[in-house]
Amino acid sequence: MHELSIVEALIEQVQREVQRCGRAPTEGGHRPKVGPGRIRRLDLAVGRLSGVSCDSLRFAFELLSRDTLVAAAELHITEPKATCRCQACRACSEVDEITVRCPACGSLQVTVEGGRELLLQSIEIEE
């Protein structure tokens, strides 16, 4: 998909969150790569139906994080699944892709919930 723009947006989002909490980056927008103040970990949720490839996201993060406040951060990604509820057979199945068919009975009367999130869940800073 557009993982480069998503990582750009992610870095801006981290910047805003860190500033909001009064942990603004030091002079020049950089944070130390080691020791206190270092952003050590980012937790993301990338739903399976979000259309975003986690491998591409990691690769884009490697490229774009250099010389930014998240340069030393580890990226932790969870991939929430989606649920397909069937009105015909009442089955509740986990699905990995946008589907229009119940995996259990093949009925087209389904609703798919969840799996679309693209979230920055938390930021961990070394004390």
Note whether 49 and 112 are within 8 A (CB): yes
Phi, psi of 56 (to 5 degrees): -65, -35
Cβ within 8 Å of residue 88, ≥6 positions away: 102, 105, 107, 109
Provide the binding-site residues for another protein, judged by CB under 8 A.
1-2, 5-6, 9-10, 12-14, 17-18, 21, 23, 44, 49-52, 97-98, 100, 108, 117-127
In angstroms, give the least distance from the CB of 35 to another protein.
Answer: 14
| Residue with Cβ nearer another protein (13 or 83) | 13
At 60 the three-state DSSP class reads helix
| Residue with Cβ nearer another protein (72 or 119) | 119
In angstroms, give the least distance from the CB of 9 to another protein.
Answer: 5
